[in-house]
C-alpha cells in the first residue's frame, strides 16, 4: 500500500509540474506540441509494449469493433483536453486550467448519474457549492470560465468512457494515440507549419518535443500501478495534488492574477471538494469498521 501511495502521489506531482515543462516550449504553437505529443507517445508506448511482448489486446480490438468505437470517443475527449490545456498554459491561463482539474471529481459525480448511480444529499450539496463557485467566477469575469469547464468536462467524460472500456491503461493509451496519429502526422507534414519549430529552433526544443512521449506515458503508468494498490478514497485525496501545484505555479512562478474575486470563487469550489472528500472518507471508514 505504501508503494501504491508513493506511485500515485508521484504521478499527480508530475502532472502538477507539467505547466513548467510546457512553458519551456512557449514559442511552439499548441497544435504542434499536441502533434509531437501524440507522435512520440506512440513511439514510446509501442516500444514498451514490444519489450513486454504485450500484443494480446490487438486481437480483442479486432474481434470487437465496439471497443474501437469507444476508444475513438475517448481519443476525441483526450485530444480536446490536451490541446486546450496546452494553449491555456502557454497563453498565461495556468490558474484557469487548474480549475478544470479541481472540478473534474464533481463532474464525475454528475456523470455517475448516467451509470445509474444515486447522489447522496452531501454529494448534491458539494456539487451545488461548486456550481455556486463557477457562477461567481462567471459574474466576476463577465464570462464563463470556459477553459476550466472544457478541461473538466472532457477529462470527466474521458474517465467515464474509459471506465467502461476493457483495455488497461497502457494498451488503452496506445490505442488512443494511434487513433490520433494520422491527424497529428498530417499536421506535422504541413510545409512551414507542422514541424517548423521541432527541427529549426535548436536542439533544446527538439529534445523537449521528443520527450513528450515519456512525459505523457510515465505518470499514467505510475498512476495505474498505484491506483490498484490503494483505496479509492485515498486516490480521491491524492488527485488534488496536481491542480494545487498548478495553482501555486500560476500564482508564484508565472505571476498570474489571483485577486479576491477569483479567490472567493475557488473557495466555494474547494468547500464543495472538501465536503465531498470528507464524506467519502467517513463512509469508507464506517464501511471498514
Q: What is the per-residue pLDDT across 118-137, written as a single tens digit (0 to 9) for each?
A: 778 888 898 899 889 999 99
The total domain count for the chain is: 1
| 127 located within any domain | yes
| pLDDT single digits (tens) 67-100 | 888 899 999 999 999 999 999 999 999 999 999 9
Q: Are the C-beta atoms of 35 and 188 separated by less than 8 Å?
A: yes
More confident residue, 225 or 87: 87
Report the distance separating Cα 88 and Cα 264, nearest Å. Answer: 22
Give the total residue count for the chain: 289
Indicate whether 170 pLDDT > 70.
yes
Report yes or no on 211 lying in a domain: no
Mean pLDDT score of the chain, rounded to an integer?
A: 87
**Which helix (H) or strand (E) segment is 8 a member of?**
helix 2-16
pLDDT score at 160 = 83
- Cα distances from 206 to residues 67, 127, 172, 192, 198, in angstroms, run 35, 43, 27, 16, 5
In which residue are the cell numbers 463557477 written? Answer: 134
CB 246 within 8 A of CB 19: yes
Domain of 175 in residue numbering reads as 2-190+226-288
Helix (H) or strand (E) holding 125: helix 121-141
Q: What is the dihedral of CA 245, 176, 54, 18, to 10 degrees?
A: -20
Residue 14 belongs to a domain: yes
- Tell me the average pLDDT across 281-288: 76
Q: Tell whether 214 is covered by a domain.
A: no
Question: What's the pLDDT band for 10 if we cut at 50, 70, 90?
Answer: very high
Indicate whether 221 belongs to any domain.
no
Question: What average pLDDT does the segment 227-234 reach?
Answer: 75
In angstroms, rounded to a whole number, what is the distance separating the alpha carbons of residues 211 and 193?
20
Is residue 208 included in any domain, yes or no? no
Q: What is the pTM of this model?
A: 0.89
The percent of residues above 90 in pLDDT, for the chain, comes to 45
CA-atom Rg of the chain in angstroms = 19
Cell of 126: 458539494
Amino acid at each position: 500500500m505504501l508503494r501504491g501511495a508513493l506511485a500515485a502521489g508521484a504521478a499527480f506531482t508530475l502532472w502538477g509540474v507539467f505547466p513548467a515543462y510546457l512553458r519551456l516550449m512557449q514559442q511552439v504553437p499548441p497544435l504542434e506540441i499536441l502533434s509531437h505529443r501524440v507522435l512520440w507517445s506512440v513511439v514510446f508506448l509501442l516500444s514498451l509494449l514490444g519489450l513486454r511482448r504485450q500484443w494480446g489486446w490487438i486481437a480483442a480490438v479486432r474481434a470487437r469493433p465496439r471497443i474501437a468505437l469507444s476508444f475513438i470517443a475517448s481519443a476525441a475527449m483526450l485530444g480536446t483536453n490536451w490541446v486546450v490545456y496546452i494553449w491555456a498554459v502557454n497563453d498565461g491561463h495556468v490558474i484557469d486550467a487548474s480549475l478544470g482539474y479541481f472540478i473534474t471529481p464533481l463532474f464525475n459525480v454528475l456523470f455517475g448519474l448516467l451509470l445509474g448511480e444515486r447522489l447522496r444529499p452531501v454529494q448534491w450539496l458539494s456539487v451545488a457549492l461548486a456550481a455556486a463557485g463557477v457562477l461567481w467566477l462567471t459574474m466576476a469575469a463577465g464570462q464563463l470560465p470556459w477553459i476550466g469547464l472544457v478541461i473538466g468536462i472532457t477529462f470527466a467524460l474521458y474517465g467515464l468512457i474509459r471506465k467502461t472500456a476493457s483495455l488497461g491503461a497502457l494498451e488503452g493509451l496506445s490505442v488512443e494515440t494511434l487513433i490520433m496519429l494520422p491527424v497529428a502526422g498530417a499536421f506535422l507534414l504541413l510545409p512551414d507549419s507542422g514541424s517548423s519549430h521541432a527541427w529549426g529552433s535548436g536542439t533544446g526544443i527538439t529534445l523537449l518535443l521528443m520527450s513528450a512521449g515519456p512525459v505523457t506515458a510515465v505518470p499514467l503508468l505510475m498512476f495505474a500501478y498505484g491506483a490498484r494498490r490503494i483505496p479509492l478514497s485515498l486516490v480521491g485525496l491524492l488527485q488534488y495534488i496536481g491542480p494545487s501545484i498548478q495553482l501555486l505555479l500560476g500564482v508564484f512562478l508565472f505571476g498570474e492574477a489571483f485577486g479576491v474575486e477569483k479567490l472567493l470563487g475557488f473557495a466555494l469550489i474547494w468547500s464543495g471538494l472538501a465536503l465531498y472528500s470528507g464524506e467519502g472518507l467517513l463512509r469508507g471508514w464506517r464501511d471498514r469498521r
